[in-house]
Structure 1
Amino acid sequence: MSRIVYVNGQYMPEEEAKVSIFDRGFLMADAVYEVTSVLGGKLLDFAGHAARLKRSLSELDMASPCTEEELLAIHRELVAKNAIDEGMIYLQVTRGNPGDRDFAFPGPDVKPTLVLFTQSKPGLADNPTAKTGIRVISLEDIRWGRRDIKTVQLLYPSMAKMMAKQAGADDAWMVEDGKVTEGTSNNAYIVKGGKIITRNLSNDILHGITRAAVLRFAREAQMEVEERAFTIDEAKAADEAFFTSASAFVMPVVEVDGTAVGSGKPGPIAARLREIYIDESLKTAI
């Protein structure tokens, strides 16, 4: 059975989905996106993703294509139509199709383009990689300065992931002015002396929805959290390290630039936070 996707008000088989070559998302990367995970057929942290989408649109002076209630209904319909038990829903909003290429923004008569599709990922919650951890390398962060806006400008993160693979690692942590900003598609953390350390929020990093939830759960569990930038040397000398994202939840990092972190195996704090995040998120999934 063909996957059913959503394009500008219509549900259709993916083979029939089309967007104009003049769409600004295609020509200018003038678009934002969100990825919401699905566990047990329910959406995790939907309200957080909807709020961040609204903020991203506002920061780019882009009109919203629908209400939050309508967006929730579309997500649920796609989960049902594609029988998604564990997986993700990708959402993208572009500034639309003005009918030709122009650097200037189109007028208010041009409607945004709204596209959503599902990705089935059985075993998302019980990912075996969480038991072994991943290896990262460090790379210079050369992205634009508004990383807090979740745009589709993902060329450098994509290149960074490939550079990591070519170096025999799994992912990359990006560094600016000597300090780690974030991973290619995730927020970065280290643990030292029982303290969880992660970069503070600013325009330098994405305001991760999973990050916010994990830090809240950590504090509720009486874990100490310090929000500040850290160096790669600090990461190498840490007791453990991990990253968070909507699709990976909490993922241990066991090696940085060829140096084992702590014992070289996933640490207890990352493991506990992953367990707490999944348990608590399932309780509030919709």
Structure 2
Amino acid sequence: MSRIAYVNGQYVRHAEAAVHIEDRGYQFADGVYEVCEVWQNKIVDMPRHLDRLDRSLNELRIDWPMTRSAVEFVLREVIRRNRVRDGLVYVQVTRGVSRRDHFFPPEDVAPSIVVTARSTSPKAAEAQAGKGIAVVSYPENRWPRVDIKTIALLPNVLAKQNAKEQGGKEAWYLDGDGNVTEGGSTNAWIVTKDGVLVTRPAESGILRGITRAAVLDLVQKEGLTFEERPFSLEEAFDAKEAFVTAASTLVMPVTRVDGKTIGNGHPGSVATRLRELFHTATDLRAV
């Protein structure tokens, strides 16, 4: 079966999907995106993701390319046409196609929208979670507005490639004080030896992760002790557990940081439990 993408009003074969060379997403990375998990034929936390898409668009002064309800319909339709039961659905909105110029284009230029979906393997994801992943630290090199989920991801690409070349699956950014901000495509967490969950506040310096928010809901529901504060790399080395969260990873245990073993070198009980319970704390909308 050929994969299907939605591009500016048309459902087309994925292999033939294209946007104009003067789309501002291509020319300037002038756009935003969201990724939702699809779990057992349900879209996970779609309202929260679209709320964040709305915020990102507003921060960059880009109009919605269609009504929100129409976007919801397209998300579902792309998932259905690709027969995705478990996987990811991706929506990207740019400022549109216009002559290359740093200034915003004329008001009659419509935003561009692309939606794609693909299946993932729950079995492979669980196998990875059963082993845990390694992360590699990297100096913070992004623009300050990382709270906006933009498509300008070159710094993230470089950080994650550096991690890959050192045997890691994810990067952890370090700020000027040596504290962990977040991952290249995830939020970062530790569990102290006293059993306290720690993750950096989302007021500034990190993306307000949707999966992060769901995990915080779950943490409170389970009565776990947590703190939203910065933590240092040294504190991570000394932690009982570490993990990352994102729609693409859910709760993924971290067993090594910069080559140092975290805890006993195996996925911790807190991260494992949060992963098992994750979908009980999410909004599930049928495809």
Aligned to 1:117: 116
Q: Structure 1: give runs of 5+ residues left out of the alignment.
A: none
Answer yes or no: is the 8 Å Cα contact 2:201–2:228 preserved in 1: yes
TM-score (norm. length: structure 2):
0.96
**CA shift in 2, pair 1:209/1:23, >3 Å:** same
- Equivalent residue letter for 1:242: F
Alignment of 1:183-198 (within 5 A): 183-192=183-192, 193-198=194-199
Answer yes or no: is the 8 Å Cα contact 2:138–2:171 preserved in 1: yes
How far apart are the structure 2 equivalents of 1:155 and 1:51? 25
Tell me how far 1:17 sits from its aligned partner: 1.7
Please give the per-residue CA displacement for 1:52-72, whole angstroms capped at 9, x wherever unaligned.
000000000111112221111
How far apart are the structure 1 equivalents of 2:18 and 2:207? 29
RMSD: 1.3
- Equivalent residue letter for 2:106: G
Aligned to 1:265: 266
How far apart are the structure 1 equivalents of 2:285 and 2:126? 19
- Regions of 4+ moved over 2 Å: 124-127, 278-281, 283-286
Is the counterpart of residue 237 in structure 1 residue 225 in structure 2?
Answer: no
**CA shift in 2, pair 1:229/1:45, >3 Å:** same
Q: Structure 2: give runs of 5+ residues left out of the alignment.
A: none
Alignment of 1:1-286 (within 5 A): 1-98=1-98, 100-123=99-122, 126-177=125-176, 178-192=178-192, 193-281=194-282, 284-286=284-286
How far apart are the structure 2 equivalents of 1:172 and 1:127? 21
Please give the per-residue CA displacement for 1:165-188, whole angstroms capped at 9, x wherever unaligned.
111222210000211100000000
How far apart are the structure 2 equivalents of 1:111 and 1:218? 42
Answer yes or no: is the 8 Å Cα contact 2:36–2:46 preserved in 1: yes
The alignment partner of 2:172 has SS state of strand
Tell me how far 1:107 sits from its aligned partner: 2.0
Answer yes or no: is the 8 Å Cα contact 1:85–1:122 preserved in 2: no
Is the deviation greater in 123-132 or in 109-118? 123-132
Is the deviation greater in 155-164 or in 230-239? 155-164
The alignment partner of 2:152 has SS state of coil
Tell me how far 1:280 sits from its aligned partner: 3.8
How far apart are the structure 1 equivalents of 2:248 and 2:262? 23
TM-score (norm. length: structure 1):
0.96
Aligned residues: 284
